[in-house]
Amino acid sequence: MTITINATFSKVPTATEDGILGMRVLGDSPITRPIHIGLVLDTSGSMEGERIKAVKKTLTVLIDKLVAGDKISVVGFANEARVLLRSHVITADNKAATIDTVNLLDAEGGTNMECGIVGIGSSLGEEMPDAVVLLTDGQVNQGITSAAGLGSLIRSYLQAVPVYTLGYGEDHNAGLLKALASRTQGTYTYVNNELVLPESVGDLLGGLQSEVAKAATILFPQTWVCLELTTVEKPGEYQIGSIIADKPTWIMFKIPAGSRVESEATIQYKDCVSSELYTKSCVFDTSLDILDITEQELRCQTARTLEEIGAMLQQGTFRGAKMKLNVMLDLLNASVSSRRPLVIHMKAQIEEMIEDVKRMEMGTPDRRQITAMAMRTTSLGANYSAQRGVTGGGAVFSSPQQREARTQMVTLYSQEDPAL
């Protein structure tokens, strides 16, 4: 397993002008190892019917795709938590029984996310999963309800485990789920139809199966300004989280005028197999394509724009949202990287959004339509920020193994009765 960290400038800082630096982290040669995935699932009354059925079907397909030695933990939460599977080891002979267990999930009661987080954390003790999926379709209305409070519980019970939040339908708190995912180096996904469930879980499964490092953190001079949307909680530190084989992760910085170009940055990470901690220095590499750097700078700008647009849509500020989207589209079209695949993808999505906003501006959309578009926009911005996720039907940030796992999950899910 090899981790490399390289950087170059698209614009070198001078005595009077700021510079732009792109840093690329890349891992290769994953080693096959057992994985442990945790799921904390809303089973309140609003999940009754097709939603809980879709969750059970997704779990059935997930269990089918796990291999002998993998582990799964499942906790349902409503008024109280219900631990169905605790560090359950998959074998060739117990998959059917495992599926029978998750099919015991039923939907009734309120939405107490606190008990779900405490339920999985206290049941596992020191045996942390590799990742946790947290799914809800409603507003948290019992126990601790704020992002600060629930985030504190996650840090205490799940430590450095990334949490991937899924918001089902238009009635959940998108801001809360986005904040919980961002703080743990997961991502938030808006589930606007049932196929997004196997897509998201399949993408995560493929990532865990090809993960080469955990808890990766970039250490950089405090004079640098990180351009990524995710908040830098400690000066001079940016948390990446997982490193997946054959999937580059970029971090963009603004280097203030007058800064020393040779200032050093490093990466710290935990090896997935040995759990040993490693530190590597960033190597300045002028062979990196400048168009890659400008493309990634546009990604950061697009992520920030989409976050702002999501808030504007919730407020019904359609004209302002349309103007801001057009400004971003002009910026993408004018860039030297306008023909790069990611930029082409972003342009297409923004043009689609402009048309959607125009229709809303000219018509009389109801609150659910407005909320749905705002959530999709927020989720898409979170995906661009975290460089992972499947919102909008694309997998531009997925590795080959993630795309394969995602396709297999959706194919099995789409069968009337998933084969076991």
Please state the domain extents for the chain.
2-30+211-288, 36-209+395-414, 291-388
**Alpha-carbon span 235 to 134, nearest angstrom:** 29
Q: What pairing do the DSSP bridges indicate for beta strands 211-219 and 266-271?
A: antiparallel
Q: How many angstroms separate the first and last alpha carbons of the chain?
A: 33
Gap between the Cα atoms of 373 and 362, Å rounded: 16
- 137: tokens are 């379709």
Residue with tokens 């309800």: 145
Tell me how far the alpha carbon of residue 260 is from its chain's centroid.
34
Q: 11: helix, coil or strand?
A: strand
Sequence letter at residue 376: R
| Per-position pLDDT tens, the chain of length 420 | 789 999 999 999 999 999 999 999 999 877 788 999 999 999 999 899 999 999 999 999 999 999 999 999 999 999 999 999 999 999 989 999 999 999 999 998 988 999 999 999 999 988 899 999 999 987 888 889 899 999 999 999 998 899 999 999 888 888 899 999 988 989 999 988 899 999 999 999 999 999 999 999 999 999 999 999 876 678 899 999 999 998 999 999 999 998 877 678 999 999 988 889 999 999 998 889 999 999 999 999 999 999 999 999 989 999 999 999 999 999 999 999 999 999 999 999 999 999 999 999 888 888 888 989 999 999 999 899 989 876 655 578 888 899 999 999 999 999 866 544
Closest to 384 (Cα-Cα) out of 345, 353, 337? 345
| Cβ within 8 Å of residue 275, ≥6 positions away | none
Question: What integer pLDDT is reported at residue 232 of this predicted model?
Answer: 66
CATH of the structural domain 36-209+395-414, one choice from 3.40.50.12280, 3.40.50.410, 3.30.10.20, 1.10.10.10: 3.40.50.410
pLDDT on residue 420: 43
Structure tokens at 106: 């039923």
The CA distance from 299 to 260, in Å, is: 26
- 68 and 104 Cβ atoms separated by less than 8 Å: no
CATH architecture group of domain 2-30+211-288: Sandwich (2.60)
CB atoms near residue 4 (< 10 Å): 15
Continuous segment of H or E residues that includes residue 242: strand 237-244
Residue 125: the pLDDT is 80
What's the distance, CA 148 to chain centroid?
A: 19
Q: Phi/psi of residue 353, each to 5°?
A: -65, -40
Beta bridge partners of 396: none
* Nearest one of 80, 61, 81 to 72, comparing CA atoms: 61
- What is the residue whose two structure tokens read 């704020």? 146
pLDDT of residue 419: 46
**Beta pairing, strands 131-136 & 163-168:** parallel
- Indicate the pTM of the whole model: 0.90
> What does the block give as tokens for 340?
């790069």
Q: CB 351: neighbour CB atoms within 10 A?
A: 14
Alpha-carbon span 207 to 409, nearest angstrom? 13
Question: What is the pLDDT, as a whole number, of residue 259?
Answer: 84
Rg (alpha carbons) of the chain, rounded to whole number: 21
- For residue 341, the model assigns a pLDDT of 92
**In the numeric block, which tokens belong to residue 179?**
């904040």
pLDDT number for residue 105? 93
